[in-house]
Amino acid sequence: MAKYSIKLYKAGKFYNAFGDDGIILHELLGYKYIEYKNSVGFPESAISKVKSKLDSENIAYCLFEKENLLEEKRGLDKNYKIVLSKALKNYDMEKRLTRLKDRINDLSTDDLERIIDNLENETV
């Protein structure tokens, strides 16, 4: 098994990917990354879409059911690393924007108008 490969674990009618593998699937396919579970999950009906995307990115993957390896596909380690780097950066930005959105929601209309006016009048 390749060191830099997406490991997909089948549990019932779903597949899960954990840690960095989950972040990569979040980046490539838009699946919701559940931070407290440190994972991404998707229904088994989507496995061909996931495999197709990983194949197109030339990223290795392994499919497991319980402890049994069901399928393995080779890819390029550097592609895994490139996508992971981009995915981590984008996920961090998503978290920052969510925190900012939460703060904006707590502002009064007057405060929000003042901030928007300042932003519109600023030159970047």
Q: Spell out the per-residue pLDDT of the chain, length 124, in tens.
A: 678 999 999 999 999 999 999 999 999 999 999 999 999 999 999 999 999 999 999 999 999 998 888 889 999 899 999 999 999 999 999 999 999 999 989 999 999 898 888 889 886 5
Predicted TM-score (pTM) of this structure: 0.78
User: What CATH number has the domain bearing residue 22?
Assistant: 3.40.1170.30
Q: Work out how many domains the chain is built from and give that number.
A: 1
List all residues 6 or more positions away from 62 whose beta carbon is below 8 Å from its beta carbon. Answer: 1, 2, 5, 6, 7, 8, 69, 71, 72, 73
Residue tagged 């300042």 (tokens): 118
Q: What is the pLDDT of residue 1?
A: 66
List all residues 6 or more positions away from 47 whose beta carbon is below 8 Å from its beta carbon. Answer: 8, 15, 63
Give residue 65's domain range.
5-121
